[in-house]
A and B are shown apart, each in its own frame.
Chain A
Amino acid sequence: MFGQGLIKGLQITWGRMFDKKQTVKYPYEKIEMFPRYHGRFELDVDKCIACGLCANACPNKVIQLEKEKVDKKQFLTKYVMRIEYCLFCGLCVEACNKDALKFSNIIDMNQYRRSWVRLTLVDRPAPEMTETPEEETPAKVAKNEAAAGQAPGKEG
């Protein structure tokens, strides 16, 4: 019959009127991001050994870390990510041997100022040393002196 297709089309749109709406009212309700989503970085400070592999792996030199030596161990004092340059490629997370650096599924990292985008994951002073540093033990000092004495000799 002529016009059957028109009626069918009208029926379809009428049906759609009462369908479940797909819209998520974004600022009021949010979709949970997937577990492997490349979102905001998270650093497990206790796991981190401050090896610097992540900073090395980064193609954009996003990661800046500072460390101090405490009791024969590297102690992470500062870990800053310049997120404005970050690609979220995940090479740093892959490079991490200790699984300390991870992606979370948090997506809101937007800021009003460019300078506020910078992500400071760790900023803490190094703790007081419990033992006297190795360098100041007499044996070490003597060794150092010996080495220093040797060096000019080699040169000469």
Chain B
Amino acid sequence: MGENIFVGIATWLRGLMSGAGVPDLWNDTILLVVKLVAVLLFILVNVLWLVYMERRVCAFMQSRLGPIHVGPQGLLQTAADIGKLLGKEIILPKGTDLIVFLLMPVLVFMPPLLIYAVLPFGENMVAIDMNIGVFYLLAIASLSTIIFWAAGWASNNKYSLVGGMRSVAQMVSYELPLILALLGVIMITGTLNLNTIVDSQKSIWFVFTQPIAFLIYFIAGIAETNRTPFCLVEGESEIIAGPYTEYSGMGYAMFMLSEYANMMIISAMCTVMFLGGWLAPFGLDFIPSWLWFFLKMYLMIFVFMWVRWTFPRIRVDQLMGFGWKVLVPLALANIFVTGVGMYIFRAIGWWI
């Protein structure tokens, strides 16, 4: 029953509308809007929860308790924070590029929103089933680079500018190993459709057949989301808050929230590509597929947080050296080995 709850709601809504004599075109449009609004709500609620979770996990790893006062177990803490930030003035520093400065906090939420449209949250649960899903996802994900950079540029502040430049350098150099790592999976499946990729993991998850690719993807993913071992973009001790330095009130909140939305995307992508997406492991089918997807996604998010609160920040030269001298060659070698392996398996007939 739980398996088809969301699909069931969609079918019920469609039936209700065609019963009321709504033309098919309008019917589809309304359903699409409902799906997108659902995705939007899902992101915002999850992001609020993630900020809370981050603080709790961090506190627990430091033998503290974290937020416990607002609401039961401090659950409403982030809602209260957002309320506070909404009520604050957005300070406009002198000499900023006003249009860009004010536009960037709005635009920063766009790439995550666009990406959620193609993510398969469960069996038959994808807003738009696109046959170039992976390509679309990577193309949109790299858009956030320019938004961080423009925010840093428009602030007219040296720390913001340095942060923006670092963001570009870091994200561009870590996009490469990220995509090259995914290429191994794409070579095996021979498709860019996210649903088909999930389907082809029925016998074995790609984390077991492509462990190196998974590791590279994981490291590059942390760098893409600007989280701690690679948080040079925001490096508080060096450049205050990087591109966000001059933002206050809701502008700042949007950047912070988008960071968590990006983290969700990297985790969701990891789940789809390597952890079998919505497929249930060990035949535990009684748990609905979308719940499996979220469980795996949250497992990945927890690992991201765990890594964040364990390791210190690395230097800029170490970051670049690691990206270009270690991750990219390793990813290329992984592609080579995967290709050779495919030919060998085909030759001995293990490949279908």
- Asked if chains A and B come from one complex, the reply is yes
Asked if A13 lies at the interface with its beta carbon under 8 angstroms from chain B, I say yes
Structural contact, B310 and A12, CB atoms closer than 8 A? yes
B69 CB → nearest A CB, Å? 8
Asked if A30 lies at the interface with its beta carbon under 8 angstroms from chain B, I say no
Bound: A16/B311 CA distance, A = 14
Structural contact, A21 and B310, CB atoms closer than 8 A? no
Contacts of A22 in B (CB 8 A): 63-64
Within 8 A of B (CB), among A7-26: 9-10, 12-14, 16-17, 19-23, 25
Structural contact, B68 and A19, CB atoms closer than 8 A? no
Contacts of B57 in A (CB 8 A): 17
Asked if B26 lies at the interface with its beta carbon under 8 angstroms from chain A, I say no
Structural contact, B65 and A16, CB atoms closer than 8 A? no
Contacts of B61 in A (CB 8 A): 13, 16-17
Asked if B135 lies at the interface with its beta carbon under 8 angstroms from chain A, I say no
A-B pair count, CB < 8 Å, reads: 33
Contacts of B306 in A (CB 8 A): 10, 13-14
B159 CB → nearest A CB, Å? 29
Bound: A13/B64 CA distance, A = 12
Within 8 A of A (CB), among B164-179: none
Structural contact, B63 and A21, CB atoms closer than 8 A? yes
Asked if A6 lies at the interface with its beta carbon under 8 angstroms from chain B, I say yes
Q: Which residue of A lies closest to B65 (CB)?
A: A23
A43 CB → nearest B CB, Å? 36
Contacts of B60 in A (CB 8 A): 16-17, 21
Bound: A21/B61 CA distance, A = 9
A50 CB → nearest B CB, Å? 46
Q: Which residue of B lies closest to A26 (CB)?
A: B69
Asked if B41 lies at the interface with its beta carbon under 8 angstroms from chain A, I say no
Structural contact, B307 and A10, CB atoms closer than 8 A? yes
Question: What count of chain A residues pass the 8 Å CB interface test?
Answer: 14
Asked if B309 lies at the interface with its beta carbon under 8 angstroms from chain A, I say yes
Once A9-B311, A10-B307, A13-B310 are accepted as A-B contacts, the answer to whether A21 and B68 lie under 8 Å apart by CB is no
Structural contact, B68 and A16, CB atoms closer than 8 A? no
Q: Which residue of B lies closest to A10 (CB)?
A: B310
B77 CB → nearest A CB, Å? 14
Contacts of B209 in A (CB 8 A): none
Asked if B62 lies at the interface with its beta carbon under 8 angstroms from chain A, I say yes
Contacts of B309 in A (CB 8 A): 13
Contacts of A9 in B (CB 8 A): 310-311
Structural contact, B64 and A23, CB atoms closer than 8 A? yes
Structural contact, B65 and A21, CB atoms closer than 8 A? yes
Bound: A6/B309 CA distance, A = 12
Contacts of B63 in A (CB 8 A): 16, 19-23
Within 8 A of A (CB), among B5-64: 57, 59-64
Q: Which residue of B lies closest to A9 (CB)?
A: B310
Structural contact, A21 and B311, CB atoms closer than 8 A? no
Q: Which residue of A lies closest to B229 (CB)?
A: A6
Counting chain B CB atoms within 10 Å of each CB, the highest count among A6, A19, A23 belongs to A23
Contacts of A23 in B (CB 8 A): 59, 63-65
Contacts of B307 in A (CB 8 A): 10
Within 8 A of B (CB), among A85-139: none
Q: Which residue of B lies closest to A3 (CB)?
A: B215
Bound: A17/B60 CA distance, A = 5
Bound: A13/B308 CA distance, A = 10
Contacts of B64 in A (CB 8 A): 21-23
Q: Which residue of A lies closest to B60 (CB)?
A: A17
21 A-B pairs (CB sep. < 8 Å)? A9-B310, A9-B311, A10-B307, A12-B310, A13-B309, A13-B310, A16-B61, A16-B62, A17-B57, A17-B60, A19-B63, A20-B63, A21-B60, A21-B63, A21-B64, A21-B65, A22-B63, A22-B64, A23-B59, A23-B64, A25-B65
Besides the contacts A16-B62, A22-B63, what 12 more A-B pairs have beta carbons closer than 8 Å? A10-B306, A10-B307, A12-B310, A13-B61, A16-B60, A16-B61, A16-B63, A17-B60, A20-B63, A21-B60, A21-B65, A23-B65
The 9 closest A-B pairs by CB, nearest first: A23-B65, A13-B310, A13-B61, A9-B310, A17-B60, A22-B63, A16-B61, A23-B64, A19-B63
